[in-house]
Structure 1
Amino acid sequence: MKVAYVIEISAVIIIIFLLIIFVPKNKIREASVILMFKQLITWILGLAVVQLNWLEYPDRVFFSDATQTSFSFEYICYPALCVFFILYYPKQYGWVGQFVYYFVYCSAITILEVLIEHYTTAIKYNEEWHWYSTWLSLFVTFYISRKFYLWFFKEKEKGDSYG
């Protein structure tokens, strides 16, 4: 079995387990909305970057004949990470703390993706895509998702500079 397959299957199992453990029962509704909104964004963007040949997913476990993007990462892992990002968002901190939160989240995910890209065949960056493309796309999609969450649940937060 290829390393890429093991990573993909493990990531899906771990992320589902983490969702079950760390999403409080009283936040399941919010988590569902966050997950589906982020899925909408990442699925569209994931398909676009693959069609533009900026990224490739040479080895995929799920739906490899149906799409050229990674169902596991674009539709399960990244959206689930966004759930944690928003549910545990540090709204009590000022704009500096909130920016650091964005920075740490985006950087950690980007580092993992770069390692996967470098050491496996699960993802391949082409000439137009770089680590900072991943980082920036994560930052923007997390920001948009957070703004949607605040709008959807009609939350107004005092001093919430970074959404």
Structure 2
Amino acid sequence: MSVSLQYGFLGVVYLIGIAGFAAVPAHRRREAHAVFLFQNMLAWFLGLIAVEAGWLIYPVRELAKSSSTSFLFEYLCYPVVAVYYNFFYPEKGSARAKLGWTALFAFGITIPELLIEAYTDLVRYTGWKWYWTTISVGLTLAVSRLFFVWFFGPHRVSVSGKR
């Protein structure tokens, strides 16, 4: 895939990420901002560790002179995914439903990343394996859920918008 097509792909993903964040209902924006920023901090920190350790490289990336990580993934896409993970989390579901929800999101990020790694120069695994993505995404989403419950308390707004 040519570099220009890869940057075009990044542009489309930016539009999807921005649209996903813009689609948050007005009455949920405070929650969305808190989760977004929290997940942004986690992804940035852990992403830097993975890149600096040499486990991942991003040959084609935006802001190449500023950061060796993927700005799009660490700062936009993954935090937006975490917002929706928390908004629709099966709070009253069984432990199996909660684990399934987390696995759905973890694999929902891992599978596209594997395709991107195989067919583009946007990410390269050097010492990384697909299961590390699945595990790290699952764990950081679970941590974002703990943050969400701690920050907003037991009387937070539900999916329907009612208290």
**Common fold: TM-score over 0.5:** yes
Counterpart position of 1:146: 145
| Pairing 1:20-39 to 2, within 5 Å after superposition | 20-21=22-23, 23-39=24-40
Rounded Cα–Cα distance in structure 2 between residues aligned with 1:15 and 1:80: 7
In structure 1, list runs of 5 or more residues that go unmatched: 158-163
Contact 1:91 1:98 in 2 (8 A): yes
Rounded Cα–Cα distance in structure 2 between residues aligned with 1:82 and 1:10: 20
Counterpart position of 1:14: 16
Rounded Cα–Cα distance in structure 2 between residues aligned with 1:132 and 1:45: 15
Counterpart position of 2:59: 58
Rounded Cα–Cα distance in structure 2 between residues aligned with 1:156 and 1:57: 41
Rounded Cα–Cα distance in structure 1 between residues aligned with 2:140 and 2:73: 14
Counterpart position of 1:3: 5
| Pairing 1:75-114 to 2, within 5 Å after superposition | 75-114=75-114
Give the letter aligned to residue 90 of structure 2. Answer: P
Q: How much does 1:156 deviate?
A: 7.3
Q: What value does the CA root-mean-square deviation take over the aligned residues?
A: 1.4
Q: How much does 1:133 deviate?
A: 0.4
Give the letter aligned to residue 143 of structure 2. Answer: I
With 86-95 and 136-145 compared, the bigger mean Cα shift is at 86-95
Equivalent pairs counted in the alignment come to 154
SS of the residue aligned with 1:2?
Answer: helix
Deviations 1:72-111 (A, max 9, x none): 1111110111001001111121111111111111111100
Identity of aligned residues (%): 34
Q: How much does 1:4 deviate?
A: 2.3
Give TM-score scaled by structure 1 length.
Answer: 0.90
Give TM-score scaled by structure 2 length.
Answer: 0.90
With 25-34 and 3-12 compared, the bigger mean Cα shift is at 3-12
Contact 1:4 1:60 in 2 (8 A): no
Deviations 1:92-133 (A, max 9, x none): 21111111111111111100000000000000001x210000
Contact 1:5 1:122 in 2 (8 A): no
Counterpart position of 2:50: 49
Rounded Cα–Cα distance in structure 1 between residues aligned with 2:25 and 2:92: 19
Q: How much does 1:24 deviate?
A: 1.6
Give the letter aligned to residue 93 of structure 1. Answer: G
Contact 1:35 1:80 in 2 (8 A): yes
In structure 2, list runs of 5 or more residues that go unmatched: 157-163
Rounded Cα–Cα distance in structure 1 between residues aligned with 2:6 and 2:124: 11
Rounded Cα–Cα distance in structure 2 between residues aligned with 1:83 and 1:140: 15
Rounded Cα–Cα distance in structure 2 between residues aligned with 1:7 and 1:146: 30
